[in-house]
Amino acid sequence: MFSENYWAHFAPSGKTPWDFILNAGYKFTFAGENLAKNFTSSDAVVKAWMASPTHRDNLLNPKYQDIGIAVAEGNLNGQKTILVVQEFGTASNIAAKPSMEVQGRQITVPEEDLTNKPTLALTVTETRPNTNVLINPYAVSKVAGLSVIFLIAILLTVDVWVLKRRGVFRFTSHNIAHMALLSLAAGSLFMASPGAIL
C-alpha cells in the first residue's frame, strides 16, 4: 500500500487482497480482510472493528480458521501513517486424486496404554509491557491546533474592539468571515478521531 500510495482493499493497479494472499503461497477456500490506519493503540483498532458490522463479521466468522496480521509505519499521501492489515482465511486442503493404484500389505499397529503415562503440568504467565502512553501524540496535535485557533480568534476580537473604539471602518476587514472559518476549523478538529477503518 505504501509503495503504490493508496489505502483501500483494491489497489489502483488492480491487485486484490486475494492476490496478496495467493502470492504468499496460501491457497484458500474462504478469505477476508480488515484494514485500519492511524490508531494509537491496538485496543482502539479492535474496538473500531467490533463496532463495524462488516469488520465484526470478519473477526467472528467461523469459516475463517487462519489469520495474518501486519502492522507497518510509512508515508502515505505525504503523511506519516500506521497501517494495520488483517487477513483471514481457511486453507483449501483438497488432496489430489491418486493417478495410480498402490499395492501394499496391511499391518496392525499395537495399541498403547496411555493411562500410566506421566503428565507434564505447565504454567503460563502472561507478561505485558506497560502500554500507558505518557504523551498521546494525537491529543498533543489536537490541543496545539485548538490553541492556535483560539489565539487567532482572540486577536480578531481585539482587532474588532480596537477599531470600533477608534471609530475606524475598514472595507478590507472580513472578521466575521474569518471567525466563521475559525469556528469551522475548531469544530472539525474537535470532532476528529485518530483512526479509520476500511
Tell me which of 66, 91, 116 is where a domain ends: 91
In 39-178 the beta strands, taken as DSSP E runs, fall at 66-76, 79-91
Do the domain assignments include residue 45? yes
pLDDT reported for residue 128: 61
Do the domain assignments include residue 121? no
Segment of 12-16, 96-100, 107-111 carrying the highest mean pLDDT? 12-16
CATH code of residue 22: 3.40.33.10
User: Is the alpha carbon torsion for 60, 63, 67, 70 positive or negative?
Assistant: negative
Give the tens place of pLDDT for each residue, 134-146: 677 777 888 899 9
- Is residue 98 over pLDDT 60? no
Number of residues that this document lists for the chain: 198
Distance between CA atoms of 115 and 24, rounded to whole angstroms? 43
> Domain range holding 80?
17-91
Give the tens place of pLDDT for each residue, 23-66: 888 888 888 999 999 888 888 889 999 999 999 999 999 999 98
Distance between CA atoms of 158 and 52, rounded to whole angstroms? 46
CA distances (Å), origin 82, targets 2, 39, 75, 196: 10, 7, 8, 11
Domain count for the chain, please give it: 2
pLDDT reported for residue 105: 67
pLDDT reported for residue 41: 84
The answer to whether residues 86 and 25 belong to one domain is yes
Do the domain assignments include residue 151? yes
pLDDT reported for residue 117: 61
pLDDT reported for residue 198: 67
- Is residue 94 over pLDDT 60? no
Give the amino acid at 151. Answer: L
- Is residue 170 over pLDDT 80? no
Q: What is the mean pLDDT of the chain?
A: 81
